[in-house]
Structure 1
Amino acid sequence: MLGKKRKLGKKIHELKVGDSFTSSSVIEDRDLLMYLGLTDDANPLYIQHDYASETPFKRPIVPTIMIVGKISSMISMDLPGPGSHIIKQELAYPKPVYHYNEIKITLEIASVYKKEHYVDLTVVGYDEEGDEVVTGKLSVHPPYEPKSMNASSLENFY
Protein backbone atom coordinates (compact mmCIF):
# COMPACT_ATOMS: atom_id res chain seq x y z
CA MET A 1 0.00 0.00 0.00
CA LEU A 2 3.03 2.26 0.19
CA GLY A 3 3.06 4.80 -2.59
CA LYS A 4 -0.69 4.43 -3.11
CA LYS A 5 -2.66 7.46 -1.96
CA ARG A 6 -5.86 6.71 -0.12
CA LYS A 7 -8.37 9.22 1.11
CA LEU A 8 -9.57 9.17 4.68
CA GLY A 9 -13.20 8.35 5.44
CA LYS A 10 -15.88 10.80 6.46
CA LYS A 11 -14.86 13.16 9.25
CA ILE A 12 -17.09 13.80 12.26
CA HIS A 13 -18.57 16.99 10.76
CA GLU A 14 -19.56 15.10 7.57
CA LEU A 15 -21.57 12.40 9.37
CA LYS A 16 -25.25 12.62 10.24
CA VAL A 17 -27.87 10.43 11.87
CA GLY A 18 -29.38 8.11 9.28
CA ASP A 19 -26.27 7.72 7.10
CA SER A 20 -26.05 4.03 6.22
CA PHE A 21 -24.10 1.44 4.29
CA THR A 22 -25.08 -2.10 3.30
CA SER A 23 -22.87 -4.94 2.10
CA SER A 24 -23.45 -8.57 1.19
CA SER A 25 -20.93 -11.38 1.36
CA VAL A 26 -20.59 -15.14 1.40
CA ILE A 27 -18.17 -16.87 3.76
CA GLU A 28 -16.50 -19.68 1.85
CA ASP A 29 -14.15 -22.52 2.79
CA ARG A 30 -11.02 -20.51 1.95
CA ASP A 31 -12.14 -17.74 4.35
CA LEU A 32 -12.72 -20.30 7.11
CA LEU A 33 -9.40 -22.02 6.48
CA MET A 34 -7.51 -18.70 6.64
CA TYR A 35 -9.26 -17.84 9.92
CA LEU A 36 -8.55 -21.27 11.40
CA GLY A 37 -4.91 -21.12 10.30
CA LEU A 38 -4.45 -17.62 11.68
CA THR A 39 -6.08 -18.31 15.07
CA ASP A 40 -5.32 -22.02 15.49
CA ASP A 41 -8.99 -22.41 16.43
CA ALA A 42 -9.88 -26.09 15.96
CA ASN A 43 -13.48 -25.98 17.21
CA PRO A 44 -15.14 -29.02 15.59
CA LEU A 45 -18.39 -27.06 15.31
CA TYR A 46 -16.72 -24.91 12.65
CA ILE A 47 -15.14 -27.62 10.49
CA GLN A 48 -16.30 -31.17 11.27
CA HIS A 49 -19.50 -32.17 9.51
CA ASP A 50 -19.86 -35.41 11.48
CA TYR A 51 -19.68 -33.61 14.83
CA ALA A 52 -21.88 -30.67 13.77
CA SER A 53 -24.53 -33.07 12.43
CA GLU A 54 -25.02 -34.35 16.00
CA THR A 55 -25.66 -30.87 17.41
CA PRO A 56 -28.78 -28.69 17.18
CA PHE A 57 -26.98 -26.78 14.38
CA LYS A 58 -26.97 -29.91 12.14
CA ARG A 59 -24.01 -28.63 10.06
CA PRO A 60 -20.83 -26.57 10.58
CA ILE A 61 -21.31 -22.90 11.42
CA VAL A 62 -19.23 -19.78 10.79
CA PRO A 63 -17.32 -18.44 13.83
CA THR A 64 -19.02 -15.28 15.07
CA ILE A 65 -15.67 -13.45 15.08
CA MET A 66 -15.69 -13.72 11.28
CA ILE A 67 -18.97 -11.80 11.23
CA VAL A 68 -17.36 -9.17 13.47
CA GLY A 69 -14.53 -9.05 10.93
CA LYS A 70 -17.00 -8.24 8.14
CA ILE A 71 -18.52 -5.46 10.28
CA SER A 72 -15.08 -4.08 11.17
CA SER A 73 -14.11 -4.05 7.50
CA MET A 74 -17.28 -2.14 6.57
CA ILE A 75 -16.45 0.47 9.22
CA SER A 76 -12.80 0.72 8.16
CA MET A 77 -13.52 0.89 4.46
CA ASP A 78 -16.97 2.47 4.07
CA LEU A 79 -18.78 4.06 7.04
CA PRO A 80 -17.18 6.17 8.36
CA GLY A 81 -14.26 4.78 6.30
CA PRO A 82 -10.46 4.68 6.34
CA GLY A 83 -8.98 6.08 9.55
CA SER A 84 -11.90 4.90 11.74
CA HIS A 85 -11.48 2.97 14.98
CA ILE A 86 -14.04 0.88 16.90
CA ILE A 87 -14.02 1.78 20.60
CA LYS A 88 -17.01 -0.25 21.86
CA GLN A 89 -19.28 -2.98 20.58
CA GLU A 90 -22.36 -4.82 21.80
CA LEU A 91 -23.40 -7.56 19.40
CA ALA A 92 -25.85 -10.47 19.54
CA TYR A 93 -26.12 -13.44 17.18
CA PRO A 94 -29.73 -14.70 17.23
CA LYS A 95 -29.15 -17.32 14.50
CA PRO A 96 -25.93 -18.99 13.32
CA VAL A 97 -24.46 -18.38 9.88
CA TYR A 98 -23.69 -21.55 7.96
CA HIS A 99 -20.91 -22.11 5.45
CA TYR A 100 -21.77 -20.57 2.05
CA ASN A 101 -24.73 -18.57 3.38
CA GLU A 102 -24.96 -15.07 1.99
CA ILE A 103 -25.27 -12.44 4.71
CA LYS A 104 -26.40 -8.86 4.19
CA ILE A 105 -25.20 -6.39 6.84
CA THR A 106 -26.36 -2.80 7.27
CA LEU A 107 -24.64 -0.14 9.35
CA GLU A 108 -26.51 3.04 10.26
CA ILE A 109 -25.42 6.08 12.24
CA ALA A 110 -27.69 6.40 15.27
CA SER A 111 -25.94 9.26 17.11
CA VAL A 112 -23.16 11.77 16.43
CA TYR A 113 -21.10 13.15 19.32
CA LYS A 114 -19.01 15.89 17.73
CA LYS A 115 -17.44 17.20 20.94
CA GLU A 116 -16.36 13.70 22.06
CA HIS A 117 -15.44 12.74 18.47
CA TYR A 118 -17.38 9.51 18.09
CA VAL A 119 -20.52 8.09 16.52
CA ASP A 120 -22.83 5.28 17.53
CA LEU A 121 -23.70 2.86 14.75
CA THR A 122 -26.44 0.26 14.74
CA VAL A 123 -25.78 -2.96 12.89
CA VAL A 124 -28.21 -5.57 11.64
CA GLY A 125 -27.47 -8.54 9.42
CA TYR A 126 -29.71 -11.07 7.70
CA ASP A 127 -29.06 -14.40 6.05
CA GLU A 128 -30.44 -15.33 2.63
CA GLU A 129 -33.65 -16.60 4.26
CA GLY A 130 -34.27 -13.16 5.76
CA ASP A 131 -33.52 -14.23 9.32
CA GLU A 132 -31.54 -11.93 11.61
CA VAL A 133 -28.01 -13.26 12.25
CA VAL A 134 -26.38 -10.25 13.93
CA THR A 135 -27.71 -7.17 15.67
CA GLY A 136 -26.16 -4.57 17.89
CA LYS A 137 -24.46 -1.26 18.41
CA LEU A 138 -20.91 0.00 17.98
CA SER A 139 -19.18 3.22 19.00
CA VAL A 140 -16.59 4.42 16.52
CA HIS A 141 -14.04 7.22 16.25
CA PRO A 142 -14.27 8.48 12.68
CA PRO A 143 -11.00 9.59 11.05
CA TYR A 144 -9.34 12.59 12.61
CA GLU A 145 -8.69 15.64 10.46
CA PRO A 146 -4.94 16.03 9.84
CA LYS A 147 -3.74 19.14 11.67
CA SER A 148 -0.39 19.98 10.08
CA MET A 149 0.44 21.00 6.54
CA ASN A 150 2.76 17.99 6.34
CA ALA A 151 -0.01 15.60 7.44
CA SER A 152 -1.19 15.10 3.87
CA SER A 153 2.16 13.48 3.06
CA LEU A 154 1.14 10.67 5.42
CA GLU A 155 -1.69 9.73 3.03
CA ASN A 156 0.84 7.57 1.22
CA PHE A 157 0.76 5.20 4.19
CA TYR A 158 -3.00 4.45 4.07
Structure 2
Amino acid sequence: MIGKTIDEIKIGDKACFEKTISETDVYLFAGITGDLNPAHINQVASEQTMFKGRIAHGILVSGLISTVLGMYLPGPGTIYLGQELKFTAPVKIGDTIKAEVEVIEMVTEKNRIKLRTVCTNQDGKVVIDGVATVMPPKRA
Protein backbone atom coordinates (compact mmCIF):
# COMPACT_ATOMS: atom_id res chain seq x y z
CA MET A 1 0.00 0.00 0.00
CA ILE A 2 1.39 3.38 -0.98
CA GLY A 3 0.01 6.86 -0.47
CA LYS A 4 -0.35 9.64 -2.99
CA THR A 5 2.75 10.86 -4.78
CA ILE A 6 3.42 14.56 -5.26
CA ASP A 7 2.05 14.27 -8.81
CA GLU A 8 -1.29 13.09 -7.42
CA ILE A 9 -1.64 15.92 -4.89
CA LYS A 10 -2.77 19.52 -5.39
CA ILE A 11 -3.01 22.65 -3.29
CA GLY A 12 -6.25 22.56 -1.27
CA ASP A 13 -6.42 18.76 -0.91
CA LYS A 14 -7.72 17.83 2.56
CA ALA A 15 -8.05 14.79 4.79
CA CYS A 16 -9.09 14.16 8.39
CA PHE A 17 -9.26 11.61 11.20
CA GLU A 18 -11.45 11.71 14.30
CA LYS A 19 -11.04 10.00 17.68
CA THR A 20 -12.43 10.26 21.18
CA ILE A 21 -9.59 10.59 23.69
CA SER A 22 -10.05 8.01 26.44
CA GLU A 23 -8.63 7.63 29.91
CA THR A 24 -6.81 4.54 28.63
CA ASP A 25 -5.17 6.62 25.87
CA VAL A 26 -3.86 9.09 28.46
CA TYR A 27 -2.54 6.41 30.84
CA LEU A 28 -0.90 4.39 28.06
CA PHE A 29 0.77 7.52 26.66
CA ALA A 30 1.97 8.50 30.15
CA GLY A 31 3.45 5.05 30.65
CA ILE A 32 5.09 4.87 27.24
CA THR A 33 6.65 8.33 27.47
CA GLY A 34 7.23 8.59 31.22
CA ASP A 35 5.31 11.90 31.30
CA LEU A 36 3.47 11.39 34.59
CA ASN A 37 2.59 15.06 35.05
CA PRO A 38 -0.29 15.26 37.58
CA ALA A 39 -2.20 17.43 35.09
CA HIS A 40 -2.70 14.21 33.12
CA ILE A 41 -2.91 11.40 35.67
CA ASN A 42 -3.91 12.80 39.08
CA GLN A 43 -7.54 13.90 39.34
CA VAL A 44 -7.21 15.52 42.79
CA ALA A 45 -4.06 17.50 41.92
CA SER A 46 -5.37 18.45 38.47
CA GLU A 47 -8.54 19.92 39.98
CA GLN A 48 -6.31 22.57 41.59
CA THR A 49 -4.99 23.71 38.19
CA MET A 50 -6.43 26.30 35.81
CA PHE A 51 -8.01 23.39 33.87
CA LYS A 52 -10.02 22.13 36.89
CA GLY A 53 -9.40 18.49 36.00
CA ARG A 54 -7.20 16.16 33.99
CA ILE A 55 -6.21 17.01 30.44
CA ALA A 56 -4.68 14.90 27.69
CA HIS A 57 -1.03 15.36 26.78
CA GLY A 58 -0.73 17.88 23.95
CA ILE A 59 1.68 15.64 22.07
CA LEU A 60 -0.73 12.70 22.40
CA VAL A 61 -3.43 14.77 20.71
CA SER A 62 -1.02 16.06 18.05
CA GLY A 63 -0.27 12.42 17.21
CA LEU A 64 -3.64 12.34 15.46
CA ILE A 65 -2.09 14.63 12.84
CA SER A 66 0.51 11.92 12.21
CA THR A 67 -2.35 9.48 11.61
CA VAL A 68 -3.79 11.68 8.88
CA LEU A 69 -0.42 12.24 7.21
CA GLY A 70 0.70 8.62 7.42
CA MET A 71 -2.58 6.96 6.52
CA TYR A 72 -4.62 9.36 4.36
CA LEU A 73 -2.80 12.39 2.90
CA PRO A 74 -0.29 11.76 1.49
CA GLY A 75 -0.65 8.32 3.17
CA PRO A 76 1.54 5.23 3.59
CA GLY A 77 5.18 5.83 2.72
CA THR A 78 5.09 9.49 3.74
CA ILE A 79 8.12 10.82 5.64
CA TYR A 80 7.15 13.33 8.35
CA LEU A 81 9.92 15.97 8.27
CA GLY A 82 8.72 18.66 10.64
CA GLN A 83 5.83 20.17 12.54
CA GLU A 84 5.07 23.57 14.03
CA LEU A 85 2.43 23.33 16.78
CA LYS A 86 0.46 25.80 18.83
CA PHE A 87 -1.65 24.34 21.67
CA THR A 88 -4.62 26.67 21.89
CA ALA A 89 -7.03 24.90 24.26
CA PRO A 90 -6.97 21.90 26.61
CA VAL A 91 -8.29 18.49 25.62
CA LYS A 92 -10.25 16.72 28.36
CA ILE A 93 -10.67 13.00 28.64
CA GLY A 94 -13.78 12.14 26.63
CA ASP A 95 -13.32 14.93 24.07
CA THR A 96 -13.68 13.89 20.43
CA ILE A 97 -10.89 15.41 18.38
CA LYS A 98 -10.85 15.87 14.63
CA ALA A 99 -7.38 16.23 13.09
CA GLU A 100 -7.49 17.89 9.65
CA VAL A 101 -4.73 18.61 7.17
CA GLU A 102 -4.80 20.78 4.05
CA VAL A 103 -2.09 21.09 1.42
CA ILE A 104 -0.91 24.72 1.37
CA GLU A 105 2.43 24.56 -0.45
CA MET A 106 4.23 22.20 -2.82
CA VAL A 107 7.88 22.11 -3.83
CA THR A 108 7.76 19.50 -6.58
CA GLU A 109 11.47 19.53 -7.42
CA LYS A 110 12.34 18.65 -3.79
CA ASN A 111 9.33 16.33 -3.26
CA ARG A 112 8.15 18.38 -0.28
CA ILE A 113 4.66 19.40 0.80
CA LYS A 114 3.51 21.78 3.54
CA LEU A 115 0.13 21.24 5.11
CA ARG A 116 -1.91 23.29 7.55
CA THR A 117 -2.70 21.07 10.52
CA VAL A 118 -5.67 21.78 12.78
CA CYS A 119 -7.24 19.78 15.59
CA THR A 120 -10.71 20.73 16.82
CA ASN A 121 -12.89 19.33 19.59
CA GLN A 122 -16.51 18.22 19.40
CA ASP A 123 -17.62 21.84 19.85
CA GLY A 124 -15.54 23.03 16.89
CA LYS A 125 -12.98 24.77 19.13
CA VAL A 126 -9.42 24.71 17.79
CA VAL A 127 -7.17 22.89 20.28
CA ILE A 128 -4.04 22.64 18.08
CA ASP A 129 -2.97 24.71 15.09
CA GLY A 130 0.16 24.33 13.02
CA VAL A 131 2.00 23.49 9.82
CA ALA A 132 3.60 20.16 8.85
CA THR A 133 6.29 19.48 6.28
CA VAL A 134 6.32 16.05 4.66
CA MET A 135 7.92 14.11 1.85
CA PRO A 136 5.24 12.10 0.04
CA PRO A 137 6.08 8.59 -1.21
CA LYS A 138 7.53 7.94 -4.63
CA ARG A 139 6.50 5.13 -6.94
CA ALA A 140 9.11 2.39 -7.15
* TM-score, length basis structure 1: 0.85
SS of 2:48's equivalent? coil
The C-alpha deviation readout for 1:5-33, integer Å capped at 9, x for no partner, is xx100001111001101221111112112
Corresponding position of 1:151: none
Q: Is the 8 A contact 2:22 2:94 kept in 1?
A: yes
Q: What does the per-residue CA deviation read over 1:9-67, in whole Å, with 9 as the maximum and x for residues that have no partner?
A: 00011110011012211111121122122112211000111111111100100001111
Q: Secondary structure at the match of 1:130?
A: coil
Q: Deviations over 1:71-123 (max 9, x none)?
A: 11111111100000111111101101111101112110001111010100001
Given candidates 56, 60, 72, the residue that maps to 1:78 is 72
Which of 9, 15, 19 in structure 1 is aligned with 2:9?
15
Counterparts of 1:81-96 in structure 2 under 5 Å? Answer: 81-96=75-90
For 1:132 and 1:68, the matched residues in 2 are separated by 12
Q: 5+ unaligned residues in a row in structure 2: which ranges?
A: none
Deviation of residue 129 (structure 1)? 1.9
4+ long deviations beyond 2 Å: none
- The residue type paired with residue 47 of structure 2 is S
1:141 is matched with 135
RMSD of aligned residue pairs (Cα, Å): 1.0
CA distance in 1, matches of 2:113, 2:101: 12
Q: Distance in 1 between matches of 2:92 and 2:17?
A: 18
Number of the residue aligned with 1:112 = 106
**How many residues were matched structurally?**
140
* Residue in 2 that maps onto 1:156: none
Query: Does the residue aligned with 1:138 lie in a helix, a strand or coil?
Result: strand
The CA distance in 1 between the partners of 2:48 and 2:116, in whole Å, is: 35
| TM score, norm. by length of structure 2 | 0.96
**How far apart, in 1, do the equivalents of 2:27 and 2:54 lie?**
13
Distance (whole Å) between structure 2 residues aligned to residue 123 and residue 41 of structure 1: 24
* 1:136 positional shift: 0.8
